Amino acid sequence: MAIFEIDFRPAALVKNTKVLVFYPDGMPKAECPVLYLLHGFTDDYSNWLRWSSIERYAALNGLAVVMPDGGTSWYCNEVGPLHYYDYISKDLPQFIQNTFDIGKDPKKCFIGGLSMGGYGAAKIGLRNPENYAGIVAFSGAYDPMWVYTQHRPVYDADFQIYPWKPEDDPYQVLENFPAEAPKLPLYLACGTQDPLYPQSTRFRDLAIQKGFQVQWDELPFNHEWAFWDVEIEKAIHWMLKK
């Protein structure tokens, strides 16, 4: 497994940012599945590598993993120049395709994440279903008002993502999902002791109501890496069956 730490300047951010890329040894580029894996609030691009066994799971399963830095953006386009939604949904996939010659087949691309990243993966995947084969979201913080209330100290004048737009609310995205758009399969999971459990079950139930194929998992964990490490291994096996 090769690991690349890249510093580059995407157009959507007008600043340098870092991304980690795992590439499995000996995997033909045309056959290589790709997972865009998003981090949580207060984390950065390195946390999946530092706190989980994602490198080992990816190597064992021949999976390329792309781990970008999303700051505390909630993967939204801010009023200012930092457009993280555009970066993750457009600039980053194009960069990965051009640089590594992988990720060109949407049937082999997935997007996932935990907490803030679970929210981001769900939102980005649902708004761009033609670009992915499935969505993985753990312990997602899906409710914009809850996010704003809990993390209000962060949302000062220099953090311009609030008020949230309807397209940044995953519940509304599900409610308004176009009938003609492909319904991506979802792997959703949350610990039963997690304060975000009600948000996850609400999102799960709405997705099922709207006709999405949902794989759900829950275990007696809180909002913690011990749970996410277990779930990412399960989710990788689920993805590769797709």
| pLDDT tens string 114-163 | 999 999 999 999 999 999 999 999 999 999 888 877 776 666 554 455 55
**Mean of the per-residue pLDDT values for the chain?**
93
Tell me the percentage of the chain whose pLDDT exceeds 90.
81
Q: How many CB atoms lie within 10 A of CB 100?
A: 18
Residue 131's Cβ-count burial label (10 Å; 0-12, 13-18, 19+) is middle
Name the residue ranges covered by the structural domains of the chain. 2-241
Q: Is 71 left (phi over 0), alpha (psi -120 to 50) or beta?
A: left
pLDDT digits (tens, 9 = 90+) for 161-219: 555 788 999 999 999 999 899 999 999 999 999 999 999 999 999 999 999 999 999 99
Contact present, 72 and 154 (Cβ < 8 Å): yes
Q: How many Cα neighbours within 13 Å face the side chain of 29?
A: 9
Sheet with 34-38, edge to edge strand ranges: 2-8, 17-23, 64-68, 34-38, 109-114, 134-138, 186-191, 214-219
Q: CB under 8 Å to 110, separation ≥6 — which residues?
A: 33, 34, 35, 36, 132, 133, 134, 135, 136, 239, 242
Q: How many Cα neighbours within 13 Å face the side chain of 195?
A: 6
Fold that domain 2-241 belongs to in CATH: Rossmann fold (3.40.50)
Contact present, 50 and 126 (Cβ < 8 Å): no
| DSSP bridge pairs for 23 | 2
What does pTM read for this prediction?
A: 0.95
Our CA angle for 90, 132, 31, nearest 5°, is 105
DSSP three-state, residue 41: coil
DSSP three-state, residue 167: helix
